[in-house]
Amino acid sequence: MAGKVFFSVSMSLDGFIAPESVPVEDFSAPEKQDDPQVQRWMAQWMELQQWIFPQRFFRENLKLGEGGEEGRDNDIARDTFERTGASVMGKRMFDLGEQAWPEEAPFHTPVFVVTNEKRDPWERPGGTTFHFVNDGIEPALDQAREAAGDRDVRIAGGGATILEYVNAGLIDEFSIALSPVLFGSGIRLFEGVDAGRVVLEPVRAEPTQRVTHLTYAVRER
Ligand SMILES: NC(=O)c1ccc[n+]([C@@H]2O[C@H](COP(=O)([O-])OP(=O)(O)OC[C@H]3O[C@@H](n4cnc5c(N)ncnc54)[C@H](OP(=O)(O)O)[C@@H]3O)[C@@H](O)[C@H]2O)c1
């Protein structure tokens, strides 16, 4: 049986999934480390994702060390990982991750990067191979479905790529970890959504001490 297509992101209470963009090369340039824009980006990102960093599963998966919290936030992080048989992501998310992920990238499955850039597959230790797909979101999803088998396909991000899949009617379900932070500006999750096309059905709402996890099924209007 084919799996579902879903996304799962952390979002600020005012609707942003990332701070205002900073050129990706600035994150690694030594002379930019004290740049206020870079520092602000990092601080906002840490606040947005503050719920997941202490979780045991997250720490193990990124090899950050032993221990960590084991409550409902941890279960959700683990379940999201375990249901995922392949991921799809946009090139800007990939570019940031290429700098930030450890050598053993945290997916441990095939990842399909939608991009205009031509590039050979990039295999990492631990089972993650990044494939670069140049012919759009549907071929990327077809390849991800094939690779995922009976497991689900996660549209990992970022905002532009998730929006393309939502507007194409290709998302079955999504989850948002609603973080208690306000950004004021940045990358808005649903900027440009085809609202006339999409109907949401609430599936679950689970508050924890750190965030509120919201899950919706997506139906066509
Ligand atoms: N809060 C969360 O949970 C979460 C999760 C994931 C990501 N994020 C954040 O999201 C941000 C990135 O999001 P974003 O909206 O800026 O960008 P994005 O969706 O990651 O990438 C957009 C880029 O992907 C390529 N692309 C997308 N669709 C394409 C298509 N149909 N054909 C060809 N190429 C296509 C294009 O790049 P090229 O033209 O260069 O190929 C496009 O500029 C990052 O800051 C990341 O940290 C947040």
The per-residue pLDDT for range 199-215, each reduced to its tens digit, is 999 999 999 999 999 99
Domain containing residue 167:
5-220
Which strand (E) or helix (H) includes residue 51?
A: none
Higher pLDDT, 64 or 109: 109
Q: Determine the pLDDT at residue 1.
A: 62
Say yes or no: CB of residue 186 within 6 Å of ligand 1. Answer: no
Q: Which atom of ligand 1 is nearest to the CA of 187?
A: 15
Say yes or no: CB of residue 97 within 6 Å of ligand 1. Answer: no
Phi–psi pair at 128, nearest 5 degrees: -90, 125
Is pLDDT above 90 for 103?
Answer: yes
Is pLDDT above 90 for 161?
Answer: yes
Output DSSP code: residue 21: P
Is pLDDT above 70 for 74?
Answer: yes
Say yes or no: CB of residue 17 within 6 Å of ligand 1. Answer: yes
**Mean pLDDT value of segment 86-96:** 97
Say yes or no: CB of residue 117 within 6 Å of ligand 1. Answer: yes
Ligand 1 centroid vs 71 CA: distance in angstroms? 31
Is pLDDT above 70 for 172?
Answer: yes
**Mean pLDDT value of segment 5-25:** 96
pTM: 0.97
Is pLDDT above 80 for 113?
Answer: yes
Ligand 1 pocket, mutate which of 22, 27, 38, 114 (most atoms under 8 A from CB): 114
Q: Which residues face 204 on adjacent strands?
A: 215
Output DSSP code: residue 19: P
Task: Check which CATH number belongs to the domain holding 47 and give it.
Answer: 3.40.430.10
Say yes or no: CB of residue 113 within 6 Å of ligand 1. Answer: no
Q: Grade residue 86 by pLDDT with cuts at 50, 70 and 90.
A: very high
Q: How far, in Å, CA of 146 to CA of 124, rounded?
A: 20
Say yes or no: CB of residue 44 within 6 Å of ligand 1. Answer: no
Q: Grade residue 2 by pLDDT with cuts at 50, 70 and 90.
A: confident
Q: Which atom of ligand 1 is nearest to the CA of 48?
A: 1
Nearest residue (CA) to ligand 1, atom 11: 158
pLDDT in tens, 125-151: 999 999 999 999 999 999 999 999 999
Say yes or no: CB of residue 137 within 6 Å of ligand 1. Answer: yes
- Token pair, residue 202, equals 């609430």
Q: Which atom of ligand 1 is nearest to the CA of 137?
A: 31
Q: What is the number of structural domains in the chain?
A: 1
Ligand 1 centroid vs 157 CA: distance in angstroms? 6
Ligand 1 centroid vs 114 CA: distance in angstroms? 8
Q: Grade residue 57 by pLDDT with cuts at 50, 70 and 90.
A: very high
Contacts of 9 (CB under 8 A, 6+ apart): 17, 157, 162, 174, 175, 176, 177, 189
Higher pLDDT, 17 or 2: 17
Q: Grade residue 94 by pLDDT with cuts at 50, 70 and 90.
A: very high
